[in-house]
Amino acid sequence: MTQKETVYVVSDSVGETAELMVKAVASQFFGQEVQIKHFSYVEDKQDINNVITVSKYSHSIIAYTIVLQDLKQYLDDRAEEEGILAVDLMYPLMDAFTQKFNMQPNREPGQMRKLDENYFKRVEAIEFAVKYDDGQEVRGLKQADIVLIGVSRTSKTPLSMYLANKQFKVANVPLIPEIPPPEELFKIPRKKCIGLIISPEKLNDIRRERLKSLGLTNSANYASLDRIFEELTCAENIMKKIGCPIIDVSNKAIEETADIILAMFNKRGSFA
């Protein structure tokens, strides 16, 4: 039976990075079955002493990712005293960054975990924006950080996705004269709601281009100025009834509108 060698993975965070690196190296030694044992969230010298105690009698290697300088130095010193091979998996690359970019590392444990959390928050927000796009599932309005309302072609969907990439949960609701707005729209805090308006001429141009891209004629009611005036009047009446802020997006890029919204919400502390 092949003997399993042991590698102690030591980290002041979860230790995922160290484990992946150990597995990558171990895979190159086909005759060796490596047993990985974890010491995660190491935060003081006693934790280091515990690692040294269990590893010095087991013919093992310590592979570590410790960014706190005092703990790293203590582990190096104790390992040398006991004749244990301890490998700092981060130091060579961290030292290269320091030399190349003339910067010092933060030396804060758990930074990768924070990056992962940000990534998953962004994914969650994007999924939310897709699920609650264009008035779908109105129950999501209560869960949203931001609710966008406006007539068709006022950039509600692309604006929702842009804000979702900044980790905000955004729902949007189209305002159509023939369809009463959902009751939930009047029950959410009005500070979460943003009305989007646009000039009739600009909207007419946008809708005409939209019809052209679909192979339809410009005579469709969707792009007529009479219909557009009716929709905009209805939408503005609903926005006034809600009492929400209104942004004219006629000549604004998505990024510009998003900046206005975020500045507005941050000023009022709605994201606290």
Residues spanned by the domain of 78: 4-109
> Which tokens hold the place of 139?
């129950």
Q: Determine if residue 54 is labeled as part of a ligand binding site.
A: no
pLDDT band at 1 (very low <50, low <70, confident <90, very high): very low
Instruction: Give yes or no: residues 128 and 101 share one domain.
Output: no
**Number of Cβ atoms within 10 Å of the Cβ of 94:** 16
Sign of CA dihedral 76, 79, 85, 87: negative
**Number of Cβ atoms within 10 Å of the Cβ of 49:** 13
Instruction: Give yes or no: residues 89 and 173 share one domain.
Output: no
Instruction: Give yes or no: residues 136 and 98 share one domain.
Output: no
Q: pLDDT at position 212, please?
A: 87
Instruction: Give yes or no: residues 105 and 194 share one domain.
Output: no
Structural domain total, the chain: 2
Instruction: Give yes or no: residues 253 and 133 share one domain.
Output: yes
Tens digits of per-residue pLDDT, 229-252? 999 999 999 999 999 999 999 999
Q: Determine if residue 13 is labeled as part of a ligand binding site.
A: no
pLDDT band at 109 (very low <50, low <70, confident <90, very high): low
Instruction: Give yes or no: residues 42 and 98 share one domain.
Output: yes
Question: Are the beta carbons of 245 and 194 closer than 8 angstroms?
Answer: yes
Rounded distance between C-alpha atoms, residue 65 and residue 7, angstroms: 13
Q: pLDDT at position 122, please?
A: 87
pLDDT band at 114 (very low <50, low <70, confident <90, very high): low
Q: pLDDT at position 214, please?
A: 86
Instruction: Give yes or no: residues 190 and 150 share one domain.
Output: yes
Q: pLDDT at position 12, please?
A: 85
Instruction: Give yes or no: residues 121 and 90 share one domain.
Output: no
Rounded distance between C-alpha atoms, residue 85 and residue 75, angstroms: 11
Q: DSSP secondary-structure letter at 148?
A: E
Rounded distance between C-alpha atoms, residue 223 and residue 216, angstroms: 11
Final residue of a structural domain among 109, 143, 168: 109
Rounded distance between C-alpha atoms, residue 155 and residue 116, angstroms: 30
Q: Determine if residue 151 is labeled as part of a ligand binding site.
A: yes
Q: Determine if residue 55 is labeled as part of a ligand binding site.
A: no
Tens digits of per-residue pLDDT, 39-94? 888 889 999 999 999 998 888 999 999 988 899 999 999 999 999 999 999 889 88
Instruction: Give yes or no: residues 51 and 132 share one domain.
Output: no
Q: DSSP secondary-structure letter at 3?
A: P
Q: pLDDT at position 253, please?
A: 94
Rounded distance between C-alpha atoms, residue 194 and residue 239, angstroms: 8
Q: Determine if residue 269 is labeled as part of a ligand binding site.
A: no
Q: Determine if residue 122 is labeled as part of a ligand binding site.
A: no
Question: Are the beta carbons of 199 and 250 closer than 8 angstroms?
Answer: yes
Instruction: Give yes or no: residues 99 and 50 share one domain.
Output: yes
Which spans in 85-181 are helix H? 91-101, 111-131, 156-164
Instruction: Give yes or no: residues 131 and 251 share one domain.
Output: yes
Rounded distance between C-alpha atoms, residue 215 and residue 266, angstroms: 43
Final residue of a structural domain among 93, 109, 125: 109
CATH code of the domain in which 33 resides: 3.40.50.20
Rounded distance between C-alpha atoms, residue 152 and residue 195, angstroms: 12
Q: Determine if residue 156 is labeled as part of a ligand binding site.
A: yes
Final residue of a structural domain among 53, 75, 109: 109
Q: Determine if residue 154 is labeled as part of a ligand binding site.
A: yes
Instruction: Quote helix, strand, coil % in the chain, to nearest 5.
Output: 50, 15, 30
Instruction: Give yes or no: residues 125 and 227 share one domain.
Output: yes
